[in-house]
Chain A
Amino acid sequence: MVDFNVVLAGLTDAFQLTNLLFVLAGVVLGQFVGAVPGIGPVMAMAIAIPFTFVLDPLPAIGFLVGVNKGGLVGGAVPAVLINTPGTPDAAATALDGHPLAKQGKPVKATKMALYASVTGDTFSDLVLVTVSAPLAIVALKMGPVEVFALMIFAFSIIAGLVGNSLSKGIIAAALGLLCATVGLDPEHSTPRLYFGWFELYDGLPLASVAIGMLAISEILRRLASTNGGMKSAIEIPVAQNPEDMRVRWVEYWSCRYTMLRGAVIGTILGALPGIGSTAAAFMSYASAKQTSDDPQSFGKGNLHGIAAAESANSAVVGANLIPLLTLGIPGSVGAALIISAFMIHGIQPGPLLFEQQGRLVYGLFGAMIMANFINLFVGQVGLRFWILVVRAPESVIFSSALLLCIVGVSMATGGLFGVSVMLIFAGVGYLMTAFGYSVVIFIIAFFLGPRFEISLSQTLVLLDGDVAALVNYPIAIVLLLLAIVATWWLGFRAAARQANKQPA
């Protein structure tokens, strides 16, 4: 156990002015790059890492964590305001955030996103600070078989988002899985569907597909519907009702269970490497919708929808550090970047970290908590700025967003190849939306596809292809049963609701 003196010394370090300033700088940068479509916090962290070499470890890592946390808050801004999520995990936020913004309440929508994000993040940070070591040991017990079962469970929950047409939902999911199989197969490294393009060996670039389908296709749709007149990207009533400019405490408090559930989902998925914040956001959103008394109001600007998505995707970030700090295992690309920052400072995350670098670790914890508060304050100022920005004429906003997406993706994927892929998927996304196929289902299937496939292959090897061998994996059995229950329950409830509606 770490000595209490060390804990105090670490927390004191976090409050040193230089360290606080670096965290502040990180959060500001993170919120900015998160809000600008196409760049994102991961890219910013990758560029910043070599520069942190000259810093001490705590300001360096505090800065990077600030970028990561700020990015998640910033990512919700374009999703809510112009329906173009800069990062795929913000796509869930757009589902209810944008409709609310369109009703003339952009300030309220972005504020709710900010509060939910900070709430979820703080929750997972507290879990990290208090019980990371035992939690990491539990997470270790979640092997490939359990992760496979967990993914089936996640799919069964997210299926609640399919919408009106089951067959269209299945087609969208199948297309997403098909696109996820491009590249080397995870078992024997045989290239699949690459048509001689070596750029596709590692699969379709995630950033290209996500930004193409989510952001560019929306921009295309908006550009197609313009009629030459000058109007703002979002209409904000001049004399706005002050009630619509803020989130009242009652409204925030009414979302407490939604946010708590989102934070728990985010923390669990974050502690398990490799599943990610996009799945967490959608799982939380889907379960909020399913358990709501009024599921019809989701997708039309329900505050609970925003709260569910943002609390979950932000909770993933803190929880990602649980396997990272205790075991040296990164749970996401962002966490992998933080590991490389640790390593260039000569610090090896893993079992010895708390003993050898206790002061640094608690300094980092202090910095993370401070980053959440800073996020809150910077966010309050920042969202006013962004709302001013989107008051500019639509033609200006969307053409600059298009430019930024192209620049961002070409940076993230290393050239114009990624941009071409992005534009192709923008077309695919546009057509899918036009014909009523869910782009969101496609993206989830595409994101979870590779992990799903490799978990399946690992499971088959470990079970020797024998389903009966599952008896040795009780957690997996429970999860699979839950998946069946969820499917039945969701199906049953949906059917019951339909029946209720008919007489009315």
Chain B
Amino acid sequence: MRRILIPLLAACAAAGLAGTLYLVFYVTKLEQNLFFNQKIFYWHVPNWFMLFSMVFLCGGASIGYLVKRDPKWDDVAHAAGELAVLFGAIGLVTGSIWGKAAWGHWWIWELRLTTSLILWLTMLGYALVRRFAGPGSEPLCAGLAIFGMVNVPLVYFAVKLADKLGQASAHPKAKVVAQLDASMKGTFWLSVLTFAAVCALLFLVRIDAIRDARRLRAVRERGLDAGILEP
């Protein structure tokens, strides 16, 4: 199953990336207000979709792990947590480039930007703890992911409410997708699918590696416990 799925996803992702690049630059129309700057939107937004799906996958799997104590759930949370950091980083970089072009600033303290940055920092902390806490720290990491996930709406509302007296947000709203014309919309959703394929591919490869490492460790530990292997 995996043997077919992984090359298939890789092919889809490669074709999708090449295809969306072509569509973005040669087929879609220029946007009326932002002109050429808007092109980055096709790659920027799907990354945020992936970040948030990975964060909630990580948080959900962590709850599953704390309830069931099955290491499979921990593997899912581990892989999802790492991918959240990756997609968050891409989203922040592409967003900054867009921000510089559209607003003249690399960064502004706006609702979506602030929320995403804090979420990304949380996941970075999660990845750090994953890396340095060593074996036996799985429940700790699960706790961290749950706290981070619960924190997302709190941060969102805190920033939103703090902003309510300020000016209207400079960041495009979610409804811009609905206002796109057909070719733009098609390209956008193709791009989302492409990044979903990239994400699924990385997720599968990573979770296989994590699971294999865990199993190898378990076999070795069983040997040590049984006194067959000498340390």
A is bound by B:
no
